[in-house]
Structure 1
Amino acid sequence: MTKYLMFAKSQMQINTAYSAWYWAGTASSIMRLMIMFYFWHAVYDGKDTIQNLTLQDMLTYIVVAMFIQGYVSGVGNELAHDIRDGNIAIELMRPYDVIFKLIFMDFGGKITHFFRETLPLMVIAFVFIDLSLPGSAEAALLFLISAALGVWIGTFFDLMIGIIAFWTVNVWGLRVLKEGVITFFSGALVPITLFPGWLETLSSYLPFQAMVFTPVSIYTGILEGSDAYIAVLIQLGWCLGMFLIMKLIWSQAIKKVTIFGG
């Protein structure tokens, strides 16, 4: 365990080594928050509610969704690079589990992301946008559990995309497509409840809504009571399922190791 924690620490040091890049990420997140703020103000101009959501409800949903979306991707990119460059062969010979190493490195990256982007955005959102809080302590606790499950689902799915590089070598296009699909179907762009009926039904059968929409819906009160607990159980099922599928694909992929590059 200690060596894996060292991987997390080293990734944090790497992410904070370049101060210009570090603060550029903070600035870009603040600009994105401002764009979304003025966009939804324009959408709600002359309207009190949209699908029973007030402007304050929508802003709270969008901001919390931005927070969570920043944590559901990233780990698979490093794996894809190792495969493409041929470094994966060396990694597989070292005395640690490559997947766990990548997960802990990603964990370190997420810690720096929290201080670089999430924390400044939280301060701005609560001070200037008057971000709403969960309706109860129970909802807040359930939100944290749901958000953690959503991040794990995204992590396992991202690893699956990275593993595909064993067969395709370059997964850049696939990753771009993945980001677009996750942004849309996870409910990070707009609440899934605003989708047409058929598209909302389709989204409910995909794992993406469990990454962002479910935790944010618990936070904002869209999901309450038994519906919220059922949604978390569904998330748990997706999390276990994605993990098992990822491990199955990984076990097949390492049998087909081909060295590219140096």
Structure 2
Amino acid sequence: MNRSLRNLFMGLVVLFMALPLLVVAGVSLNGGQQLRFPPRDPSPRWYAELFMAEDWLNALANSLVIATSSAALALAIAFPLAWFVWRYHTGYGRLLYGLGIAPFTLPPVITALGFLVFWTVAGWHGSILATIVSHAIFFVTLPLVTISLGLAAIDRQVIEAATTMGADEPTVFRTIVLPLVRPYLISGYAFAFVLSLNEYIVAYMVAGFTVETLPIKIFNSLRYGYTPVMAVVAVVFVLLAVLIFGLIARFGDLPRLLGAWSKE
């Protein structure tokens, strides 16, 4: 395939992938409360509606609280686990690692159903805390994998040299391991945050309509008729994801964070 055909093919692929986003962005600019593309009487009024309507603001606040807290909790679980598996190579450490990636490998509806049963029995179904914990467990795989990649990139000879020079375990961790793995901590948090912000099935199963996140709010709004605010929310989600992953790509090694190993 020559260069022109290759460029044409890639351009068509990009257009095919971007077309739904372009349509949603256009729909969000409709002047009236209607589903039209190209937009009729273009206006940014629905963007203001998202940040002025109390029900949408409450859903936005719930989503941000859940995403921020669950990503932090997922990181707090993943980092010690990844460190333990990397440092000590025990058999049960590998078992714990497998359990850490299991929630993300199962079909989401199966995991969500398990959370539903557990929190109902525990008497916490419908609480925001249950939603935060469920999201943290569901997305713990992301920081666990990224942190494990960062730890695997550390030269163990550096650790051995520091130990030989008299550094104890906490000093090695604080002065060598933590600075080297910090970008992977940030990236793992960012991955968990973005996906938690957009997650619907687990949030719906655990909280129902008691804790209304933005994805749940969109679903609820669809039951009572279309409003372009839903398209606005989709555009905001996409822009936020592009911003976060763009920063990771700019200041980090995005291919490696996604699982690619550097060539020697």
The two structures have a TM-score, normalised by structure 2, of 0.33
Is the radius of gyration larger for structure 1 or structure 2?
2
The two structures have a TM-score, normalised by structure 1, of 0.33
